[in-house]
Amino acid sequence: GASNLRGRCFPGFPETNVLGYAEAVEDWHGLSGHLEPTAWWEKRSGQFHHDGGFSSSAPQPPALVSMYCEEAPSKGTPPAFLWHPPTATHLDCPPGATMFFSTRVALQLAPVDVAARARCLRCCYKEGFGRIRIGEYPILSESFLTPLHPPSAPIDERASHRSITKFESFETLAFGQGGGVEADTDTAPFFHHRLVQCDTRGREYVVVHTVCLDHLEELTGDKWMPLSWAASQEFVERLLAPAASPPYLQLIDWQAGDVVLWDNLQTQHSVTPTDAYVVKGQRRLMTRTAMMPAMAVLS
């Protein structure tokens, strides 16, 4: 059959990928085939995340991301996806909508002791999306923030899902200089970054990709001590949940021609499940442009 176009780039535009769902597209700016998520869990669930690979071999995550809607599912048919986050009664999500929340707000809303502990934690990643198990991992919590169970071991087969940020940095494409940062798995078996980051204006925010996360480590004295996978996910859930729910959640009900630009590191987003709008003839045609940093953006 026709190839799945998810993550493909338009000819001549390596910084832009295509996303969404369509049974068939023909010569869409040079691309033909079908379009569906390769992240199997997004068919029935959401997942809040930052874009990027988050592994020992992935490049730095994008600094900025923009999305453009070329075609959105029809409104009213199918009905809206009814989401029940733990901290709210329900949220009506139009078909194909995207939800956003600020991880800077998450830190501001966190209890003082939780925020203080977060500043002493760092994230540890190795396989990234190599942790994925079709039908098994990840099964997301009701909040769409964290997986409920770890993947089975060993992690040795080829991942069914991949990051779509493995292209040249925005600076290289635009100015012919700079370049993404690629980790060396031989000398750096884990990719580490602090859970709480600080921007150039001194504002703190949280960065974590829970599906790719191996575990958190806590600074105790002068040593980093690992937390269990379960304890790591429980802490992240507690830290982010208040901000990932109304009234702090921003819902984008896409219309054809809409463009949204966001700070990828200070924001997490989740699309509504594909099964909420996949009916014959319904399509969601989106393009995503990632602006890659020319230097390390996570410490």
CATH label of the domain that carries residue 65: 3.60.130
pLDDT at 90 over 80: no
pLDDT at 283 over 60: yes
Does some domain include residue 24? yes
pLDDT at 256 over 70: yes
Instruction: Give the pLDDT score at 15.
Output: 85
Instruction: Give the pLDDT score at 93.
Output: 83
pLDDT at 109 over 50: yes
Instruction: Give the pLDDT score at 172.
Output: 37
Q: 286: burial class by Cβ within 10 Å (0-12, 13-18, 19+)?
A: buried
Does some domain include residue 4? no
Percent of the chain with pLDDT over 70: 82
pLDDT at 87 over 80: no
- Tell me phi and psi for residue 276, to 5 degrees: -75, -15
Structural domain including 284 reads: 9-291
Instruction: Give the pLDDT score at 185.
Output: 41
Does some domain include residue 3? no
Quote the mean pLDDT of the chain: 85
Render pLDDT for 5-19 as a digit per residue (tens, 0 to 9). 999 999 999 888 999
Which one has a higher pLDDT value, 95 or 226? 226
pLDDT at 40 over 50: yes
CA dihedral 28, 285, 104, 228 (to 10 degrees): -100
Instruction: Give the pLDDT score at 294.
Output: 74
Instruction: Give the pLDDT score at 297.
Output: 82
The mean pLDDT of 57-62, rounded to a whole number, is 89
pLDDT classification of 278: cutoffs 50, 70, 90 = confident
Look at the chain and count its residues. 299
Instruction: Give the pLDDT score at 14.
Output: 87
Confidence (pTM): 0.87
Render pLDDT for 180-211 as a digit per residue (tens, 0 to 9). 334 444 445 899 999 999 999 999 999 999 99
Q: Which of 85-99, 139-153, 165-179, 244-258 has the lowest mean pLDDT?
A: 165-179
pLDDT classification of 81: cutoffs 50, 70, 90 = low
| HEC secondary structure over 93-136 | ECCCCEEEEEHHHHHHHCCHHHHHHHCCEEEEECCHHHHCECCC
In the chain, the number of structural domains is 1
Give the pair of three-digit tokens for residue 116: 């203080």
Render pLDDT for 133-185 as a digit per residue (tens, 0 to 9). 999 999 999 999 999 999 987 654 444 455 554 443 333 333 333 333 344 44
CA dihedral 100, 101, 102, 106 (to 10 degrees): -160
Does some domain include residue 296? no
Does some domain include residue 229? yes
Does some domain include residue 78? yes
Does some domain include residue 213? yes
